[in-house]
Amino acid sequence: MNASADMEGMPPRGVPVQLAYVVADVVAAARLWSARHGAGPFFVNPHIEVSDVVHRGRPARFDHSTALGQWGGLMIELLEDHGSGPSVVRDLYPPGHTGLHHVALFVDDLDAETERLGRLGYPLAQSAVARGVTRFHFIDTVRERGHFLELYEPNPSLAATYARISEAARTWDGSAPVRSAADGRLL
C-alpha cells in the first residue's frame, strides 16, 4: 500500500480514515457522540442501498443505516444493523449490543489487498457494493484486533462524501449536530 493520495482531498492509502461503531439507534448515538465528544456534525443515511453482498462465501443481505461525522482527523461511522440474517455486524455483536466494529482504510487495489491479507491469515468476511459504485470488503481481523478492517478504493463519490463531512466539521459551530444526509434537515 502506498501512502500517497492522488484524488483531491482523499486521505493517504493504508492509513486509518474511519472508526465505526455498532449502535442501537444512529440518531441517538450521533447526539451522544456530539454532546460527549464534540464529534460532528453527523449526517444520517437510512437503509443504505447495498448490492452484491456475500457473507463468508454465501449471498446475504446487509440492511443498515449510518451516521457519518468527523472527530478530529477521523471520520466516525455509527452503524445500525436492521437485518436479522448473517452479517459482519452479527458476527461481532448480537442485537442490542454495541461497540467498535471496524477501522476503515483506503487501498489502491481492493482485490489485491484482500488477497494479500488473506495470505496473512485475515480472511474476507463480507463483500458488497454501496449505491452501485463503491465496492467494499470487510476483512476478519477480530481474533487479533477485536474488530474488522473495512477496505475500499477511492472513487469520486467516496471522495465527495469524505470532503463534505470534513468541510462540515471544519466550519461547524456545534449547533445542529445531527442532520439528514439526503437534504440536510435537522434530525
Question: What is the three-state SS of 41-87?
Answer: CEEEECCCCEEEEEECCEECCCCEEEEEEEECCEEEEEEEECCCCCC
The domain that contains 43 carries what CATH number?
3.10.180.10
Position 84 in a domain: yes
- pTM of this prediction? 0.91
Using one digit for the tens of pLDDT, what is the confidence trace for 76-105? 999 999 998 999 999 999 999 999 999 999
Q: Which stretches of the chain score pLDDT less than 50?
A: 1-12
- Which residue segment(s) compose the domain that 76 sits in? 16-174
